[in-house]
Amino acid sequence: MNDRFAQPAAQSGPASPIGERLARLREAMARAGLAAYIVPSSDPHLSEYLPERWQARRWLSGFTGSVGTLVVTADRAGVWVDSRYWVQAQAQLAGTGIDLMKMAGGPQAQAHVDWLAQRLAAGERVGVDGAVLGLAAARTLQDALTPHRIGLVTEPDLLESVWNDRPPLPAGAVYEHAAADACVARADKLALVRAAMRERDAQWHFISTLDDIAWLTNLRGDDVSFNPVFVAHMLVGLDEAVLFVGAGKVSAEIAAALARDGIRVAAYEAARAALGGLADGATLLIDPRRVTWGMRESVPAHVRVVEAINPSTFAKSRKTPEQAERVRSTMEQDGAALAEFFAWFEAALGRETITELTIDERLTAARARRPGFISPSFATIAGFNANGAMPHYRATAASHATIEGDGLLLIDSGGQYVTGTTDITRVVPVGAVGEAQKRDFTVVLKGMIALSRARFPRGIRSPMLDAIARAPIWEAGCDYGHGTGHGVGYFLNVHEGPQVISHYAQPDPHTALEEGMITSVEPGVYRPDQWGVRIENLVLSRADGETGFGSFLAFETLTLCPIDTRCVLTSLLREDERAWLNAYHESVRERVGRHVSGDARRWLEARTQPI
């Protein structure tokens, strides 16, 4: 099918699953004296990807997008989503009795907190599970509701009485990230965090974010799809540390290794009690953007709380030279997998039935043949023509396109390897490609080249670099509705901070790019109902000399895969842009060529010819 997102609408009415679930929630709300209930897309760790146990918004509404907030009152229900999910939510919410609420895009747009403040009466109460409500989000709610004398109730979790077959906590075993691949010892990482704690005069530091914990402990797991992390909390003291994790997840051997580094293993459920038991006069460091309201409420009043970014967030974002070298090798292997995939794709096109689902299957299989591969780093986005115009499109068995005829195929994919995490987007032609499509492709390429070549002073806040990529695209009268770049982990989450290249983000001091950070560069242009173009490479921040004006940084391109020149209008490229592209392709041909042969090698040679 070529429908953009023609997924079957969820059923409604008293006999439908969605209708029955909402009815049960409303009964629980009435018993608790609540006029409204909020179900965020969140878990106790404020994760981007949620374990099944905390997929409550999806279970209640039928909307499967990764981001969205469900609000239920006695007579209304709505899911608030941004423009990336409007088409998907419109289809999936149809007939459920749940409204699509657009977070932006016109005079009728309204945030859910403002909608509640205007709709509820003084004295009424709003409920939400404080265990999954971010501290910053809770403060925003309070600021909106308190002037209207609307109460906020954060206990209990009503889903416990409504969701009868709620999945349990993930039970998968935790494993060591081998020392040779991790490159930095667990004890050394603890020392870095403790040094930052001392700078803040903090005796304790509480961490809930799973990638921070995985980085700090040099442990990995598979509790969260696509991210090699495990569900846990951690309390770090100046002389001891406690890892709160589910029973049976940590083997005796790993527990003994942790103990040698001063880390004790405790029950996952004991984290709140541990916070509540901190001594009089203690100082606790927390990151208000990375901890929940429920955990913050567990801290006694006699404990002084210091709010600052998690020290581990800074530390893990700055890859060591040894890690950077392993990432370079990983990129060669990932590039080889892509060469094998694209060689098959071009040979099979028109001879075999290829769908957007086939793309995911074949890409994953090609990566799985490469050393150190663990899993995809996110759900592959393969969008043909109009589907490619939705930045977060996801093909399903019920709705996907067959790759046939003429047009553009956008593929955004990545892999988790024990020596690095990859994320790449390429657009390739299918059949004939028109002048307008080539123009869009070329202006996006110009934006990607502009930022990839940028040199900038150390300390420049990363959101300010966004305009460098957009300038050539703006010049063509185009724009795109997502950020230009995000941080990428080292065998960790494909999205990590603190850096983010996006004019939508606040240019706070902690967002400054530093040497060793890996960031995506991914500008785009999207024509609704027609096609989409996005070109993405990962880059490494590197020192680039000193001048009388201070230290400068520049980007080293890490990703190694040809950019399809069949889609390029060479007349739009300046000579220096053409030189950059040719030099990039020469590097791709030389480095990836070491790892491929036969059809893949021939494809690589053909697609890296200079223009």
Candidates 222, 532, 249; CA nearest to 393 is: 532
Chosen CATH of 318-602 out of 3.40.50.300, 3.40.640.10, 3.90.230.10, 3.30.360.10: 3.90.230.10
Candidates 505, 514, 523, 502; CA nearest to 460 is: 514
Q: Prior bond to 156 cis, omega within 30? A: yes
Segment (H or E) for 465: none
Token output for 469:
């990529």
End-to-end, the C-alpha distance of the chain in Å comes to 36
Give residues with Cβ within 8 angstroms of 180, minimum separation 6: none
Q: How distant is the alpha carbon of residue 177 from its chain centre?
A: 21
Q: What is the pLDDT of residues 257-302, one digit of tens each?
A: 999 999 999 999 999 999 999 999 999 999 999 999 999 999 999 9
pLDDT of 393: 86
Write down the residue that tokens 């495990």 correspond to: 230
Percent of the chain with pLDDT over 90: 90
Query: Which phi and psi (to 5°) does residue 141 adopt?
Result: -60, -45
Give residues with Cβ within 8 angstroms of 151, minimum separation 6: 123, 124, 125, 126, 145
CA angle in degrees (0–180, nearest 5) for 260-224-192: 35
Query: Which phi and psi (to 5°) does residue 307 adopt?
Result: -105, 120
Q: What is the pLDDT of residues 411-441, one digit of tens each?
A: 999 999 999 999 999 999 999 999 999 999 9
Q: What is the pLDDT of residues 437-469, one digit of tens each?
A: 999 999 999 999 999 999 999 999 999 999 999
In whole angstroms, give the CA distance from residue 116 to residue 22.
18
Sequential DSSP letters for 554-593: EEEE-------GGG--GGGS-HHHHHHHHHHHHHHHHHHG
In whole angstroms, give the CA distance from residue 39 to residue 54.
10
Fold of 175-313: Creatine Amidinohydrolase; Chain A, domain 1 (3.40.350)
Q: Exposed, middle or buried by CB within 10 Å (0-12, 13-18, 19+), for 367?
A: buried
Q: What is the pLDDT of residues 307-332, one digit of tens each?
A: 999 999 999 999 999 999 999 999 99
Q: What is the pLDDT of residues 173-218, one digit of tens each?
A: 999 999 999 999 999 999 999 999 999 999 999 999 999 999 999 9
Does the fold of domain 175-313 match that of domain 17-162? yes
Pairing of strands 232-237, 241-245: antiparallel
On whether the 17-162 domain is CATH 3.40.350.10, my answer is yes
Give residues with Cβ within 8 angstroms of 315, minimum separation 6: 189, 192, 193, 215
How much is the pTM?
A: 0.92
Token output for 593:
């060529």
Q: What is the pLDDT of residues 83-117, one digit of tens each?
A: 777 878 888 999 999 999 988 654 556 789 999 99
* Domain definitions of the chain by residue range: 17-162, 175-313, 318-602
Q: What is the pLDDT of residues 218-232, one digit of tens each?
A: 999 999 999 999 999
Give residues with Cβ within 8 angstroms of 158, minimum separation 6: 25, 28, 29, 32, 34, 37, 127, 129
Answer whether 536's CB lies under 8 Å from 515's CB. no
User: Considering the chain, what is the average pLDDT of its residues?
Assistant: 94
Task: Write the CA distances from 5 to 55, 93, 552, integer angstroms.
Answer: 21, 12, 45
